[in-house]
Copies of this chain bind each other. A is one copy, B any other.
Amino acid sequence: MATSPGARGHGVSGVGPRTREGKTPTLYDVARLAGVSTATVSRVLHGHDRVSEATRERVREVIDELGYVPDGAAQSLSRRRKEVIGLVTVARETKQYDVESMSLLFWDEVLHGVEARLRDHGWSLLITFLPTEGGGDHLERLASLSGKVDGLLIGEGMIPSARLARLAERVPIVVIAGAPDERAVDVVVADNYSGTAALVTHLVVEHGLRRLYHVDGPESAPDARERRRALEAVLASTPGGTLVGSRRGTFSVQSGEEAAQELLRDVDRLPDAVVCANDQMAIGVLQAFARAGVRVPADVAVVGFDDIYPGGLSDPPLTTVHQPMRLLGERACARMLEHLAHPDLRPALEMLPAELVLRSSCGCDPDAATRRPVPRVKAKRAGRRPSGVAG
């Protein structure tokens, strides 16, 4: 019992710190050098069972001396849990900062939220950015990813809904900022509907603006869809509320500029306000208006959605709705951990409150920029999920 615990075929050499030349020390090395079994070392490592103080001490010393660190792969395999979750979002390829690339900060912010929550639990975060354009081998990358993690957090629009369901058979999945009517997987999303409703209501009630123009997002974007529905609902219940025009953009600054130009050309009388489906397009509108000599907010108000950084710096500063990006990440992560703890949990929708950010492009006092929580409003028509956290 004293000196010959099973060395398991490992070539033994001197008693120097690194026992098997050049190799990283393993649990067996520690056990051998401490004159105990691997079980005991493992117990010491995890503060588990009752191990005598003396033994514990001895093992600790050897661990220290060897600089031993348990191998993650072996632990994962043995525990049947990797304590790693994966995050899949958009790759940012640009070398230069610009408003466009800043919008991708959305995901960086989400990432930080996820990591913070994960860190609390001692788990790790595996990152994968997928280029949005060229389809191709993504499926394969995702499959291989799913073998390396316990769960997958996926950004909206990264993967078609059908594939999601398939993937979800292997690992739990939480979609971030996804469509609120997704059913097969968990979704954590900002309350786009209520946010836009609050914003438009602000325009209508506090600034008396009634004739609105809408710069919509792409057809495929679920968030843009929600925002549009809210706009229409508020307008419908406002006496005199009119949608004087609308145009679809691509969420880019340029498409915002184009929308503004078209608006300027086609409409003989300016609307009271231009409501854009995101901040980038609002910034584009602002730029086009500035060039055309249209004053904002004097001649027309302009508002966006998301609260990306450059919006606070534009001229005039953009009124918008804040997406709780960091929180989105944190909640998605929290849901995932719950899921792993209770594998029989049914997928649900979690909707996070947005926040109104009143700067001056809507006509508010520039010096009194404020943030204001957005109350939850129920969407009028169906299409929502019947059950879930969202109630």
User: Is the beta-carbon distance between B126 and A309 smaller than 8 angstroms?
Assistant: no
Complex CA gap A141/B69 in Å reads 11
Complex CA gap A149/B71 in Å reads 9
A29 within 8 A of B: no
Q: How far is the CB of A249 from chain B (nearest CB, A)?
A: 23
User: Is the beta-carbon distance between A24 and B170 smaller than 8 angstroms?
Assistant: yes
Return the chain B residue nearest A97 by Cβ. B309
Return the chain B residue nearest A314 by Cβ. B313
B residues near A77, Cβ cutoff 8 Å: 71, 73-74, 77
Among the listed B105, B124, B147, which residue makes an inter-chain contact with A126, where contact means beta carbons less than 8 Å apart?
Answer: B124
B residues near A376, Cβ cutoff 8 Å: none
User: Is the beta-carbon distance between A124 and B148 smaller than 8 angstroms?
Assistant: yes
Return the chain B residue nearest A311 by Cβ. B97
A266 within 8 A of B: no
User: Is the beta-carbon distance between A69 and B126 smaller than 8 angstroms?
Assistant: no
A82 within 8 A of B: yes
A92 within 8 A of B: yes
Among the listed B105, B125, B143, B309, which residue makes an inter-chain contact with A108, where contact means beta carbons less than 8 Å apart?
Answer: B105
B residues near A312, Cβ cutoff 8 Å: 97
Segment among A110-118, A209-217, A251-259, A270-278 that sits at the interface with chain B: A110-118
Complex CA gap A126/B63 in Å reads 25
Given A108-B108, A309-B309, A126 and B91 contact (CB-CB distance below 8 Å): no
B residues near A170, Cβ cutoff 8 Å: 24, 67, 69
User: Is the beta-carbon distance between B148 and A129 smaller than 8 angstroms?
Assistant: no
User: Is the beta-carbon distance between A119 and B129 smaller than 8 angstroms?
Assistant: yes
Q: How far is the CB of A222 from chain B (nearest CB, A)?
A: 25
A326 within 8 A of B: yes
Complex CA gap A119/B144 in Å reads 12
Given A91-B112, A129-B119, A147 and B71 contact (CB-CB distance below 8 Å): yes
Q: Which of A321-336 contact B (CB under 8 A)?
A: 326
User: Is the beta-carbon distance between B144 and A69 smaller than 8 angstroms?
Assistant: yes
B residues near A11, Cβ cutoff 8 Å: none
Q: Which of A137-187 contact B (CB under 8 A)?
A: 141, 143-149, 166, 169-170
A132 within 8 A of B: no
A84 within 8 A of B: yes
A76 within 8 A of B: yes
Q: How far is the CB of A159 from chain B (nearest CB, A)?
A: 15
Complex CA gap A147/B83 in Å reads 13
Q: How far is the CB of A78 from chain B (nearest CB, A)?
A: 9
Q: Which of A60-94 contact B (CB under 8 A)?
A: 67, 69-77, 82, 84, 91-93
User: Is the beta-carbon distance between B67 and A169 smaller than 8 angstroms?
Assistant: yes
A310 within 8 A of B: yes
Return the chain B residue nearest A137 by Cβ. B122
B residues near A67, Cβ cutoff 8 Å: 166, 169-170
Extra inter-chain contacts (19) besides given A71-B77, A116-B129, CB under 8 Å: A24-B170, A67-B166, A67-B169, A69-B146, A69-B147, A73-B74, A73-B76, A74-B77, A77-B77, A91-B112, A91-B116, A93-B116, A108-B111, A115-B129, A122-B141, A124-B126, A125-B126, A127-B127, A309-B309
